[in-house]
Amino acid sequence: MALDGSVTRAIVQELQIYKGARINKIYQPNSHDILFNLRSREGNSRLLLSANPTFPRVQLTEKTFLNPQEAPMFCMLMRKHCESGTIEDIQQVGMERIIHISIRQRDELGDVSLKKIIIELMGRHSNIILMDTSSGIILDGIHHVTPAISSFRIVMPGASYTEPPEQHKRNPLEVDQAAFIEAYMGTEQEPISWIVDSFSGLSPLVAQEIVFRASQEQDPNVDEDRISASLLWSAFSHVMEPVAKHEYQPVIGTNAKGKLVFSAILLTMLNSEVTHYHSISECLEEFYGDKAERDTVKQKVSDLLRFLHNERAKNLKKLDHLHEDIIEAGDADQYRIWGELIFASLHLIHKGDKTVELTNFYDEEQAMITVPLDPLISPTENAQRYFKKYNKYKNSLVVIDQQLIKTREEIRYMDDLLQQLSYASMNDIEEIREELIQQQYLRDRSKKSRKKKVKKKTDRPTLHVFTSSEGIEIYVGKNNLQNEYVTNRLASPNDTWLHTKDIPGSHVVIRSEKFGEATLDEAAQLAAYFSQAKESSSVPVDTTLIRHVRKPSGSKPGFVIYDHQKTLFVTPDERRIKDMPSIIKN
């Protein structure tokens, strides 16, 4: 992983200015992350502690997080022991990916208590542990490790804190030249593997950078199997020197395999352009921010995606059966004709006949017609059976037509929701889930009252607001609840409404009667980008006034019909969308 001991050291150094800072509020947005609102001489800041198994990190953040209505138990415990407390110290354990944050707080009786938050940034074993400093007893951990999981190290309330197993590696900041060269000469390992295995806190990425710098100094005319020990030490010391002096140069770039990487030190081996950052938090925010959110969203929507795909598949199968029924019901007139011909020729038919040749009064080209009969019943009963079949299929055609309309509407609705989930934020997901509960597709399994929830008229969903280059507000609905609110309740009759033509997508509203072509083009860009045609070119976007948009009675959420529209054609440009100023209104 890219987050190694050098990055952890840079984080801890950056956070030194928050010694003495007060923890105002503590939140737990999800099962992996803790968010501290800090107040210090530098102003108000937010510190993110993440034990995400894929993206563990500690950083200052500017991002907003959706907090659950009821705080999890671990969050409540952190509030009890740390909220209103003061940060006494922030330290790294050696060069390991372990950070200790010491908190001083007065308890309910006014006595000073000392607690320690231990953040272990170790991939899938990452954890955030709250420990009583005086006793060394764990108060709780964001992830529990029971005896069934590990007999060596238990992370449970009441257990004594045990440090992670030692790897018996050297601290790269403390090794001298003689010890380095002696160790290197005594191994047959490749340099990169040897550096990673021998020194704590150095990732393969940093080891590659050290070997790259050494290889650049190697004389190409000298035929050697390995890089010389002196050149490797020189490169090693040059890489570690700025780390020792806390002179970091956070960068993000693309490695030789095309993979995006980051580091707290300058990576000279990257051939592509690298982006430099003022702080390691800014670097981590850029590298991890969207990835972590998408990962969390992916976990949250997995059950919804599975449900919607299953519902869509069921309706597609139902559509096939309905088409088969239409073909079968298409013979209804034939049964009526057979019944009338049998009644007109009862004197020619006898019980026991399997077929009868009759004159066809309804088709001049086919003068005679063969009518199949049931030999076990009388001719009159055969005629009545055909009339019953005729009436059954005639009536079923009406029902089938209604079912076809309903089934196609269901498929369109599922397509809309699947498209909305493709770019949904955490706020949007919860609103989509709430919508499915309201529409009785899902059961409300919340622990709160099982009584039917009545949504107040004053309630409003999350609003995504973009500002055009002309300073005009453009509202974008990213799910059906937002679409309905923006279109049916928020917008004025003379506001302009946009939507992709015959393609599932967002409702977009320009909240102004006066605007230029630039605003219209940017609104069309938003409509195309937040649609199923996001990756397409020349996407048709319909635009009309809100007064020409209406919701049919009894239709699904988000469904509208409209007229007086004009169609624009745009190609979604992600860079333009990201450059547009935007805010989220809750």
Q: Which of 542, 530, 487, 535 is nearest to 509 (CA)?
A: 487
CA 88 to chain centre: 36
Mean per-residue pLDDT, 542-565: 92
94-110: per-residue pLDDT in tens? Answer: 999 999 999 999 877 77
Residues 129 and 218 reside in one and the same domain: no
> Is 134 found in the same domain as 40?
yes
pLDDT tens digits along 47-61? 999 998 888 999 999
Position 444 in a domain: no
Nearest Cα neighbor of 47 from 88, 18, 76 is 18
* Residue 163 CB coordination number (10 Å): 11
The answer to whether residues 117 and 236 belong to one domain is no
Check whether residue 136 and residue 9 sit in a common domain.
Answer: yes
Domain that holds residue 253: 177-276
Residue 43 to residue 40: CA distance in whole angstroms: 5
pLDDT above 70 (res 337) = yes
- Spatial CA neighbour of 208 closest among 4, 484, 417: 4
pLDDT tens-digit map of 16-31: 999 999 999 999 988 8
Which whole number is the average pLDDT over 530-550?
93
Q: What is residue 159's predicted lDDT score, i.e. its pLDDT?
A: 93
pLDDT at 458 exceeding the cut of 80: no
Q: How many alpha carbons fall within 13 Å on the CB side of residue 59?
A: 22
91 inside domain: yes
Domain annotation covers residue 474:
yes
Query: Is position 88 within any domain?
Result: yes
pLDDT at residue 445, as a whole number: 66
User: pLDDT of 202-239, one tens digit each?
Assistant: 999 999 999 999 988 876 655 566 788 999 999 999 99
> Contact 481/557 with Cβ under 8 angstroms?
yes
Mark which of 122, 141, 160 sits at the end of a domain. Answer: 141
Question: What pLDDT, on the 0 to 100 scale, is given for residue 270?
Answer: 86
Residues 15 and 63 in one domain: yes
- How far is residue 126's CA from residue 130's CA, in Å, rounded to a whole number? 14
The answer to whether residues 131 and 187 belong to one domain is: no
Whether 136 and 235 map to the same domain: the answer is no
Assigned token pair, 69: 């209505």
Measured distance CA(71)–CA(74) in Å, rounded: 8
Q: Mark whether 556 and 488 lie in a shared domain.
A: yes
pLDDT for residue 453 is more than 50: no
* pLDDT at residue 408 greater than cutoff 70: yes
Residues 12 and 136 grouped into a single domain: yes
Q: CA angle, corner 321, sides to 317 and 322, nearest 5?
A: 115
Distance of alpha carbon 209 from alpha carbon 233, whole angstroms? 13
Is the residue at 197 inside a domain? yes
Triad 372, 377, 383: Cα angle to 5°: 55
Token pair, residue 293, equals 């959110």
- The answer as to whether 76 is a domain residue is yes
Closest CA to 156 of 166, 142, 177: 142
Phi/psi of residue 24, each to 5°?
Answer: -75, -50
**CATH code: domain of residue 109:** 2.30.310.10
Residues 6+ apart with CB under 8 A from 72: 28, 31
**Does 220 lie in the same domain as 96?**
no
CB 177 within 8 A of CB 233: yes
What's the pLDDT score for residue 83? 92
Domain boundary residue among 257, 276, 295? 276
CB-count burial class (<10 Å; 0-12, 13-18, 19+) for 510: buried
| pLDDT over threshold 90, residue 395 | no
- The count of domains in the chain is 3
CA gap 82, 79 in Å, rounded: 5
Mean predicted confidence (pLDDT) in 336-354: 88
Question: 122 with 182, same domain?
Answer: no
CA angle, 171 then 177 then 183, to 5°: 70
Look at residue 567 and tell me if it is in a domain: yes
CA 295 to chain centre: 6
The answer to whether residue 228 sits within a structural domain is yes
**Domain end marker among 219, 241, 276:** 276
pLDDT tens-digit series, residues 305-328: 899 999 999 999 999 988 888 877
Helix locations, 330-425, DSSP H: 332-344, 379-421
Pair (129, 230) in one structural domain: no
pLDDT tens digits for range 351-385: 999 999 888 887 767 778 888 999 999 999 999 99
pLDDT at position 544 is: 96
The CA distance from 572 to 578, in Å, is: 11
| Residue 474 CB partners (closer than 8 Å, separation 6+) | 465, 466, 467, 468, 508, 509, 510, 511, 519, 522, 523, 526
Contact 461, 485 (CB under 8 A): yes
**Structure tokens, 382:** 């055969």
